[in-house]
Amino acid sequence: MLLFMCCLFPAVYSGNEECDSSENKYSAESNKVWTKEEMFQRGHMKPFGSHRPPQKVETLKYMISPQDFYMDFVTKHKPVVFKKVTQSWPAHTLWTDEYLTEKYGDSEMHMETKDDDKFNIPGNKIMKEFLKVYKEKNLYMVDEVTPEMREEVHLPLCLQCEEIDRFFFVSYYWHSIGGTMSTVHIDTDENLLCVIKGHKKVLMVSPVYTHDLYADGARQMGVLDVNSSSVDLEKYPRIMNVEYYEALVEEGDCVYIPQMWWHQVYSRKERQQAIAMWWKSKPFWKVVADSDAKSVKLPQDKQRKHSYGDSLIDYEYWVQNVSSNLPPIKCKEQHKKMSKYMWETDKDENAPPTLGDNGDLEEEMFEHYRTLSPVEISKATKKAAQLKQRMSCDFDYTNKKSPCHIRALDEDDERFVRYVMDYCKHYEDRGCVINKPQILNKLFQEDFQKMAFKLKSKFKP
């Protein structure tokens, strides 16, 4: 499993700006119709988002049930901020640098540079060595929340549901001295970002604006090349078409960042601690009434082409189209510590597989065997050889030309990616909507162009 982190650059967030979540932050200007001239004057060579005021992210002063969170926000890809969530965590009071050094200081952790130097990535450090130098060095720490650290974190109530938490991807701990600003990027999983200490500002953009962000021209897919601290609107004029949301996340708050949404995170110049909880969410694997589960109709008539941007846009429209038809989730299991749940991990070679590793069918099986443990479900599904083969494929298994039947190629193989690109040009397979953003995200543009060039265009439906 590869970890694609937020790409951090020296901040323009001075720390003088208060993370004020009051109504005054959002004036009537956000609903004004802005001319191109006005937006150019406001935003040219200014930080990303300066061209127009943001839309307000809904802020709740109370925690909600997992049923309400999933049905009202996750399935609709609607951002939301929950206030004062982490203040009840033991970590909120315990995790001083001294405590972390004493209790977890020997844990090896991943390091990044604040200026996101991809060619000079620092080596891993044990936590106590990082904590000695991070206030003066160009470093921040981001790595999995260790099993021991999870004992001091409470899984937020909105995620305490077997129909959500059993499909967790991973949780990460972020620690820095602040004063950082990420590039505009996407994550391919749902994200609940919870601030333990510090203050953050998060800008979010729906994937429907992907072409206006010039994403197809970026050197690395899923990470914009645009200088987000000083946007050149002469070079990138379509950015003025982009509407965006702003979430002010104070100490103790959590913000939901929808899967595949473009976002940028600012950190105030002060000690920052946060936990990001990423999980798998495919609302369309549930049975949707009166719909063909094997295919998906595109939202608009257009010539299908090999475009990363189109894959994100198709995905977002698909999520929005099925959200209103989804049956409510039941959530029978609640109020457990994070340590009681199964988390995918790279740190333990012998860790059991988590649910969702084997494709959509495994998730559907969970609906029928809800009372079984994840390990029992895994054993049950692997008894049938045919099911075992089908479980690893999200594409239309009944189509003999689908990637489900290309067993000679690994999913990371360039030939497999080319096959998927060509197949998806000819078939409106739901698997294309699910998988194309995943396999293309963070692929370098140069490699993508080479693969597209090698397509023989002889695929016959």
Domain extents for the chain?
8-283, 287-339+347-454
pLDDT in tens, 3-60: 333 433 333 333 334 444 444 444 556 668 899 999 999 999 999 999 999 999 999 9
The segment with the largest mean pLDDT, out of 17-26, 100-109, 324-333, is 100-109
The confidence band for 320, taking pLDDT boundaries of 50, 70 and 90, is confident
- From residue 181, alpha-carbon distances to 6, 65, 185, 386, 442 in Å are 9, 32, 12, 48, 19
Six-digit token string for 142: 């981001």
Q: What is the pLDDT of residue 52?
A: 96
Residue with tokens 């990138």: 236
Q: What is the pLDDT of residue 290?
A: 39
Distance from C-alpha of 75 to C-alpha of 11, rounded to nearest angstrom: 33
Six-digit token string for 231: 């946007």
Tell me what the mean pLDDT of segment 416-442 comes to: 84
Name residues whose C-beta falls within 8 Å of residue 375's C-beta, 6 or more positions apart in sequence.
352
**HEC letters along the chain:** CCCCCCCEEECCCCCCCCCCCCHHHCCHHHHCCCCHHHHHHHHCCECCCCCCCCEECEEECCCCCHHHHHHHHHCCCCCEEECCCHHHCHHHHHCCHHHHHHHHCCCEECEECCCCCCCCCCCCEEHHHHHHHCCCCCCEEEEECCHHHHCCCECCHHHCCHHHHCCEEEEEEEEECCCEEECCECCCCEEEEEEEECCEEEEEECHHHCHHHCHHHCCECCECCCCCCCECCCCCHHHHHCCCEEEEECCCCEEEECCCCEEEEEECCCCEEEEEEEECCCHHHCCCCCCCCCECCCCCCCCCCCCHHHHHHHHHHHHHHHHCCCCCCCCCCCCCEHHHCCCCCCCCCCCCCCCCCCCHHHHHHHHHCCCCCHHHHHHHHCCCHHHHHHHCCCCCCCCCCCHHHCCCCCCCCHHHHHHHHHHHHHCCEHHHHHHHHHHHCCCEHHHHHHHHHHCCCCCCC
Six-digit token string for 444: 């370098």
The segment with the largest mean pLDDT, out of 110-114, 136-140, 210-214, 432-436, is 210-214
Homologous superfamily of the 8-283 domain (CATH) = Cupin (2.60.120.650)
0.95 exceeded by pTM: no
Percent of the chain with pLDDT strictly greater than 90: 44
Whole-number mean pLDDT of the chain? Answer: 79
In the chain, the amino acid numbered 208 is V
pLDDT in tens, 166-193: 666 789 999 999 988 888 999 999 999 9
Six-digit token string for 255: 């913000």
In the chain, the amino acid numbered 346 is D
Distance from C-alpha of 325 to C-alpha of 265, rounded to nearest angstrom: 32
Q: What is the pLDDT of residue 238?
A: 97
The confidence band for 196, taking pLDDT boundaries of 50, 70 and 90, is very high
Distance from C-alpha of 403 to C-alpha of 420, rounded to nearest angstrom: 7
The confidence band for 380, taking pLDDT boundaries of 50, 70 and 90, is low
Tell me what the mean pLDDT of segment 313-342 comes to: 77
Q: What is the pLDDT of residue 10?
A: 32
Tell me what the mean pLDDT of segment 404-413 comes to: 68
pLDDT in tens, 76-102: 999 999 999 999 999 999 999 999 999
Q: What is the pLDDT of residue 81?
A: 98
